[in-house]
Structure 1
Amino acid sequence: MAIVVWIVEGTWPACVDAASAHAPEEADIVLLHVTGQEIAGVAHGAFAGLLGRGRPERDPGNQMEQLAADSAQQLLQKAADRLGRPCTRIERTGRIEREVVAAAQGADLLIVARDGDRSHLGPKSLGPASRFVVDHAPCPVLLVWPEHAPGLASIPPPPPQPPHHR
């Protein structure tokens, strides 16, 4: 059994704990972190357009990419330490939601944490990237709450029904 655990800052402990609780001992666990390329891309573009003619070694986008890679490695190490069993750590860069879906190809389970409005039950508890992943994952998804789930009273009331005509 292959299990992919999506590691995201702020919600990763719940995903790792879910893997610990639900993965059989013989499961191959992959801890996956994806770094988006938007911020470094903006820095590269600003430097090239405004400042960087002929001085690529001074491009701040390169430094931002290195900082992001270092941060991802530290986060994956923390997750592996918390898991406390053999696992594979993978760092990818690109459009986050698409990289997660691609990494889940061939997996038996993908573990994802809710990352939206976690004060209410419902669809808004998923941010855009997580919603895309849940909708497009090529395998079963275990969707976990990063903290205790809100109570049933947090479900919004149903929409009003039109009056029935007789």
Structure 2
Amino acid sequence: MAAPQRRIVVGVDGSRASATALRWALDQAAATGADVVETVGVWEVPGYYALAGGMLPPPPEGLEPDRLAAKVLAETVAREAGDRPAVPVTQLVLPGPAAAALLRQAEGAELLVVGSRGLGGFAGVLLGSVSRHVVEHAPCPVVVVRAPQDPA
């Protein structure tokens, strides 16, 4: 029987904090001998479409949230991991909500890594809603990584 794969799961949404979290996770994986870093991008149909009960026209052509999430994920991984990361990196694009998707993917993982603040909400808040939710409900240890502060 093969030993379970040692996975580090990282939430990536294109924010500075998630890019910093990905770099941290790659360093951690190399230092601890993890087998793989799983990067996860999550997409959702905007809530106002659901609230409108079918009364709004479909999203404009080209607004495909799953493809946009995949593009943001691929660009972030390419920029932060480079061509030859020390640990293999996989990319998963999952339907949201983000916290629920990350928690599902973290089942059996060694570690879940998220940025402290994503793309939404209030910039002055220390923890975003997703990072706070996963800290409270994760099936594994969680690391919340803050992005470097702007000097301005």
**Contact preservation (8 Å) 2:8, 2:109:** yes
Q: Greater RCO between the two (CA within 8 Å, min separation 6)?
A: 2
Separation in structure 2 between the aligned mates of residue 112 and residue 83 of structure 1, nearest angstrom? 22
Separation in structure 2 between the aligned mates of residue 25 and residue 101 of structure 1, nearest angstrom? 23
Separation in structure 1 between the aligned mates of residue 55 and residue 84 of structure 2, nearest angstrom? 44
Q: What's the counterpart of residue 43 of structure 2?
A: 35
**Contact preservation (8 Å) 1:35, 1:72:** no
Q: CA RMSD in A?
A: 3.0
Counterpart of 2:7 in structure 1: which amino acid?
A
Counterpart of 1:98 in structure 2: which amino acid?
A
- Aligned in 2, Cα 1:13/1:50: closer, same or farther, shift over 3 Å? closer
Give the TM-score, by structure 1 length: 0.66
Q: What SS class does the counterpart of residue 22 from structure 1 fall into?
A: helix
Q: Work out the number of aligned pairs and report it.
A: 135
Q: Provide, for residues 75-113 of structure 1, a one-character-per-residue CA deviation record: whole Å limited to 9, x for no partner.
A: 344344277242111111121111111111110101111
Q: Provide, for residues 102-161 of structure 1, a one-character-per-residue CA deviation record: whole Å limited to 9, x for no partner.
A: 111110101111117776xxxx4111121111111100011211116xxxxxxxxxxxxx
Q: What's the counterpart of residue 20 of structure 2?
A: 14
Q: What's the counterpart of residue 142 of structure 1?
A: 143
Structure 1 stretches of 5 or more lacking a match? 52-58, 149-166
**Contact preservation (8 Å) 2:14, 2:72:** no
Q: Rg larger in 1 or in 2?
A: 1
Q: What SS class does the counterpart of residue 101 from structure 1 fall into?
A: helix
- Aligned in 2, Cα 1:50/1:127: closer, same or farther, shift over 3 Å? closer
**Contact preservation (8 Å) 2:21, 2:115:** yes
- Give 1:15 shift: 0.9
Structure 2 stretches of 5 or more lacking a match? 1-5
